[in-house]
């Protein structure tokens, strides 16, 4: 059987055939399949991988994606400048979250997303052994943004993350320091434990069974409602109902990129820091924080939860001791927070 006959039998596009056999020119299609020294299993792997990559390329809107990334960079740059000038307030925060949801979710849709770069990369590799280069570039960009400025892409750019945060802020008082209705701060050991278990489960299902365990419950489909099934609809509804009372439940409990970015967040250049020379140990920043992270940062706990750099701690500090800045976090003086 020649390469051309092989392609005709399995109805393979010419670009797939070139990828499978490594053809240098079209004249090589007349060569026999056996002459390439490929076993049947290797031939099948290469074909599946090439077809999977072809489908990935064909499924993407290559006009929309670069525009979305450019707008992400612009928004995050603006937010970073506002942070540096201490201009993030409760009302500003809600406005930016609403704009991010409308722009990156409603207008540009569910794909791409930070979560999707991890989830889809794992699933694609599990199903076909393929690595989609543009997705890896996108993942690298998101990780670099995390390293640059403390989880900013999750905080201000992720379409579903900002939707959860927007719902959470609606259930806050005018000073954005506590909930109108009681808000619950789940222990980080519990939430991160669940997130790690879920990540391992989802990865094993993808690698061992070529099954996408996230696809069924993918909350980003809220921006493409026609793709939501019954199970997914119930799950998404539960996340949205919980969001005004629990801070970013999807991010803390399930998000694959949330877990990855939490790891890289440890080496962020710019992060929330405390000036202990001016800090009066009132702990208002920790009390106003939507999660346990500011308390951990303030007292330099060994395990620091995800910090979404929302700026609530900065607004709550009466002495301006909490800021986002470059460098290593200082240790608090001994007995700084000892109860009087």
Number of domains in the chain: 3
Check pLDDT > 70 for residue 150: yes
Q: How confident is the model at residue 34 (pLDDT cuts 50, 70, 90)?
A: confident
Rounded (10°) angle between helices 40-59 and 114-128: 160
Please check whether residues 216 and 278 belong to one and the same domain: no
What integer pLDDT is reported at residue 148 of this predicted model? 95
- Domain coverage including residue 226: 64-264
Residues 161 and 243: beta-carbon distance below 8 Å: no
pLDDT the model gives residue 319: 96
| Same domain (yes/no): 295, 257 | no
Query: Residue 175: its pLDDT value, please?
Result: 93
pLDDT band at 69, cuts 50/70/90? very high
Residues 214 and 69 in one domain: yes
Taken as a whole, the chain contains a residue count of 340
Mean pLDDT of the chain: 93
pLDDT higher than threshold 70 for residue 268? yes
**Domain-ending residue, one of 264, 280, 302:** 264
Q: Is 37 within the bounds of a domain?
A: yes
One domain for residues 141 and 47: no
Q: What's the rounded mean pLDDT across residues 249-274?
A: 96
Q: Tell me what the mean pLDDT of segment 114-135 comes to.
A: 95
**Which pLDDT belongs to residue 26?**
79
Domain shared by 251 and 229, yes or no: yes
Confidence of residue 292 (pLDDT cuts 50, 70, 90): very high
Is the same domain home to 53 and 163? no
Burial per residue of 52-89, b for 16 or more beta-carbon CB atoms within 10 angstroms, e otherwise: bbbebeeeeeeeeeeebbebbeebbeebbebbeeeebe
Cβ count within 10 A of residue 203: 18
CA distance 175 to 293: 19
Let me know whether 73 and 163 are in one domain. yes
Question: Which of 215, 234, 264 lies at the terminal end of a domain, its last residue?
Answer: 264
Cβ(154)–Cβ(307) under 8 Å?
A: no
> Does 204 share its domain with 299?
no
SS3 state at 270: strand
**Beta-carbon-side half-sphere exposure of residue 191 (alpha carbons within 13 Å):** 26
Residues 75 and 96 in one domain: yes
Judge whether 336 lies within some domain: no
Q: What is the mean pLDDT of residues 277-301?
A: 95
Tens of pLDDT, residues 187-246: 999 999 999 999 999 999 999 999 999 999 999 999 999 999 999 999 999 999 999 999
């Amino acid at each position: 059987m020649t390469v051309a006959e092989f392609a005709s039998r399995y109805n393979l596009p010419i670009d797939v055939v070139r990828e499978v056999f490594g053809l240098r020119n079209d004249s090589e299609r007349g060569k026999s399949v056996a002459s390439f020294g490929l076993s049947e299993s290797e031939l099948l792997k290469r074909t599946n991988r090439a077809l999977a990559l072809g489908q990935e390329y064909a499924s993407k809107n290559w006009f929309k994606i670069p525009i979305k990334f450019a707008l992400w960079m612009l928004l995050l740059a603006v937010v970073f400048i506002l942070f540096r000038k201490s201009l993030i307030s409760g009302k500003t925060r809600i406005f930016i979250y609403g704009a991010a949801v409308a722009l990156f979710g409603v207008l540009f849709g569910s794909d791409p997303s930070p979560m999707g770069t991890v989830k889809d990369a794992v699933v694609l590799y599990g199903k076909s052994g393929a690595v989609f280069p543009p997705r890896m570039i996108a993942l690298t960009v998101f990780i670099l943004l995390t390293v640059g400025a403390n989880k900013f892409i999750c905080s201000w750019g992720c379409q579903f993350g900002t939707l959860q945060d927007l719902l959470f802020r609606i259930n806050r008082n005018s000073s954005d320091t506590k909930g109108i209705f009681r808000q619950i701060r789940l222990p980080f050991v519990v939430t991160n434990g669940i997130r790690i278990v879920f990540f391992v489960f989802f990865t094993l299902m993808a690698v061992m069974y070529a099954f996408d365990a996230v696809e069924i419950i993918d909350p980003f489909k809220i921006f493409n409602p026609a793709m939501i099934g019954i199970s997914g609809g119930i799950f998404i509804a539960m996340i949205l109902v919980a969001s005004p009372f629990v801070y970013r439940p999807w991010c803390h409990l399930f998000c694959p990129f949330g877990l990855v970015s939490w790891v890289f967040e440890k080496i962020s250049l710019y992060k929330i820091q405390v000036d202990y020379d001016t800090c009066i140990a009132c702990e208002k920043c920790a009390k106003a924080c939507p999660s346990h992270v500011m308390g951990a940062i303030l007292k330099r706990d060994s395990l620091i939860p995800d910090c979404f750099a929302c700026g609530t701690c900065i607004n709550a500090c009466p002495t301006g001791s909490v800021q986002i800045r470059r460098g290593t976090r200082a240790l608090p003086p001994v007995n700084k927070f000892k109860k009087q």
